[in-house]
Amino acid sequence: MSLATAISSTVSDYDIFFVMDADVATNQALFNDANGILFGLENTNGGFQDSDATWKGDEIVTGTGAPSIIQYNLESGAGLAAISLNGTEDVPTSPFDYTATAITGASTLGELSGGGSGFDGEMGEVLVYNSPLNDAQRIIVNNYLATRYSMSTVANDLFAFDDGTASNDYFYNMIGIGQEDSDNIHVSATSESFFKILNPNDLGDGEYLMTANDGADMASWTFTGAPVNGSTRRLAREWRVDKTGDLGTITLQIDTTYLPTPPSGGLTWALIVTTDGDFTTIDTTYPLTSVSGDIVGIDGLDFNDGDYFTFSLVQYQSTGVSSDFSNPMAWTTGVVPTGGTQVKIVDGHSLFLTADVEVGSIILEGTGSLDLAGFTLIFQKDVLFLMELGRLW
């Protein structure tokens, strides 16, 4: 294959990842820039050239018939540059340094700039970072690529739920946070532009949290596979968590503008988590409260290794089973409303407080009522809806 590219960078230090599967084990070119950058494959002269126009590093040998990840860490300075294959850094026969070379000239992917030595095979992805990554970031990127391309031979493979077997078919949009040491750390990651994990509060060396989804539909809300309370809609898409070590609690946020529009008012954005992949029974429901604008989230979230989760819309509606607002049985969700939740006390139900309570808003339907009993009810959104004869006292 050969492709004229528009890759251009005003910087001269960067990390570049190639995911490729060669059809032949012969001398080939992965990428060439007119300023001198040349990445070679199965070339006995070395792994790459920069503006010095000399080969540096050892020959890169991937063989054929299976995808490989080649990473070029092009960082100028004594002993900083490196080449890695499938997450393992090559220890070169002859040490080399990289001479800073910006990619600004005409460039080709899969061929020398002047023609010849083209790449024969499949190239799945090329990632170019405009500054060198640290060790933790490289481990996360290698895990992302290994998960996406179903590779099981990558070093530091920290995501176990991507082998295609039952409950392990989470291949899509993997993200991660983690730390190798205090100088090699990554504490914020965003997936699909809308979903972010950040701020682990007890991150130690060698600890990581990674998550990927199953690629299911995210275009609408559904009751299918949701908790069987009639009050929870969910996305069909779900995610799975792999934790290495205990990095404490994290913050999770979503930008709701990327998700389907809620079908009605009075619904609360929520995260539902289960340990066994069955969302029809509730393990934990976490209301997501306003962060800013259309972003909602939760602080202090503590995932367990292997947890499944998805995003949902919840109607916190009274059941009539109990009159105690703080009794989970009083609510169709089986969870007591807190924080930014939207609460509905239905016609004929009377509830009372046994402690101070904060909610987002409350709907009193028909003769539904709430007795404060001397406690304080705080509205996060300053909204109270009295429908017909609803009463608050």
Residues 62-105 have pLDDT tens digits of: 999 999 999 999 999 999 999 999 999 999 999 999 999 988 77
pLDDT above 90 for 325:
yes
Task: Find the CATH number of the domain harbouring 102.
Answer: 2.60.120.200
* pLDDT confidence of residue 196: 98
- Sign of the dihedral through C-alpha 304, 305, 307, 309: positive
CA distances for 336 relative to 284, 327, 374, 376, angstroms: 11, 7, 19, 16
Which residue is listed with tokens 């992917």? 109
Residue at 201 is within a domain: yes
Q: Residue 63: which of 25, 117, 11 has the closest Cα?
A: 25
* pLDDT confidence of residue 7: 60
- Residue at a domain's end among 296, 314, 332: 314
* pLDDT confidence of residue 59: 94
Q: Residue 231: which of 266, 258, 275 has the closest Cα?
A: 266
Region 298-327: mean pLDDT is: 94
pLDDT in tens, 114-151: 766 789 999 999 999 989 999 999 999 999 999 999 99
122 and 219 together in one domain? no
Cα 228 from Cα 325, distance rounded (Å): 21
299 and 330 together in one domain? no
96 and 46 together in one domain? yes
* pLDDT confidence of residue 106: 75
* pLDDT confidence of residue 362: 86
Please say whether the beta carbons of 370 and 325 come within 8 A.
Answer: yes
15 and 119 together in one domain? yes
43 and 123 together in one domain? yes
Please say whether the beta carbons of 177 and 200 come within 8 A.
Answer: yes
241 and 326 together in one domain? no
Residue at 54 is within a domain: yes
Tokens of 291: 């962060």
* pLDDT confidence of residue 265: 78
Residue at 138 is within a domain: no
- Residue at a domain's end among 100, 133, 166: 133
pLDDT in tens, 210-236: 999 999 999 999 999 998 888 899 999
Residue 121 burial class via C-beta count within 10 angstroms: exposed 0-12, middle 13-18, buried 19 and up:
buried
Region 46-73: mean pLDDT is: 94
pLDDT above 70 for 385:
no
361 and 244 together in one domain? no
Tokens of 28: 């080939």
* pLDDT confidence of residue 1: 45
- Sign of the dihedral through C-alpha 250, 255, 259, 264: positive
253 and 344 together in one domain? no
pLDDT in tens, 257-275: 999 999 987 788 999 999 9
Please say whether the beta carbons of 333 and 316 come within 8 A.
Answer: yes
Q: What is the 3-state secondary structure (H, E, C) of 67-94?
A: CEEEEEEECCCCCCCEEEECCEECCCCC
Lowest mean pLDDT among 102-116, 136-150, 175-189, 354-368: 102-116
Domain count of the fold of the chain = 3
Q: Which residues pair with 160 in a beta bridge?
A: none
pLDDT above 70 for 186:
yes
- Residue at a domain's end among 99, 114, 133: 133
What range does the domain containing 369 cover? 317-392
